[in-house]
Amino acid sequence: MFALPDPSVLLAYTAACLVLFITPGPDMSLFLSRTLSGGRRHGMAAMLGAMTGCLIHTLVAALGLSALIAASQTGFAVLKIVGALYLLWLAWDALKNGSALRLKQEAVDTPVWRTFLVGIGINLTNPKIVLFFVTFLPQFVDPADPHAAGQLVGLGLYFVLITSPPAAVMILGAERLIGLLARRPRVMRAVDVLFASVFALFALRIAVAQSR
């Protein structure tokens, strides 16, 4: 049921996952905001909720994409091209608008389990995450591979596995991280440029592979 691609493909996927992780968005904003407002317990609860949301996205995307592979490999190839265009848009958006780190420091008087549910909700209702899982995962899977469905699930689970430890470290050092970003805005801009470069290269790689 679970499978991973070749080591070279997995290495490229790992790099993409880590670049995506360090690029601020709604999930990171929630982690840091809840950590500052309610302490590390709330930060961890928000993070676990978001990762649970990622697992749900993974299973739904894997089921849908597996059905698409079975129905039409041409349709799957078209989805990969659409995915390449989406990656280019993400790269352009990062350069034009910058990272979406929005911190709200307010008193938290809700139980930890509710923060966990908020994390799930924000993750599941973020359209960018939905599009990411539907268009990004297929880039690392060969539809002709008999284990393609298992690889889709495996890659989604691997994303959670590889990003959870640095997320926990980020929460533990939330105050220092926020202070660094406030003192050195160029760090955030460097992250934006790195994100845009990596995802533009992925889009170019997909375009070249599909043209052959």
Q: What angle do CA 94, 46, 176 make, to 5 degrees?
A: 65
Write out the two tokens for 183: 């003192």
At 6 the three-state DSSP class reads coil
Query: pLDDT digit string (tens) for 105-123?
Result: 555 567 888 889 988 988 8
pLDDT digits (tens, 9 = 90+) for 31-47: 888 887 788 888 899 99
Mean pLDDT of 180-200: 73
Please provide the average confidence, as pLDDT, over all residues in the chain.
77
Q: How confident is the model at residue 48 (pLDDT cuts 50, 70, 90)?
A: very high
Q: Which residue has the higher pLDDT, 34 or 207?
A: 34
| Structural contact between residues 76 and 152, judged by C-beta atoms closer than 8 angstroms | no
CB 3 within 8 A of CB 150: yes
Report which of residues 198 and 210 the model is more confident about: 198
Residue 89, pLDDT > 90, answer no
pTM: 0.73
Closest CA to 59 of 139, 150, 127, 142: 150
Indicate whether 97 pLDDT > 80. Answer: no
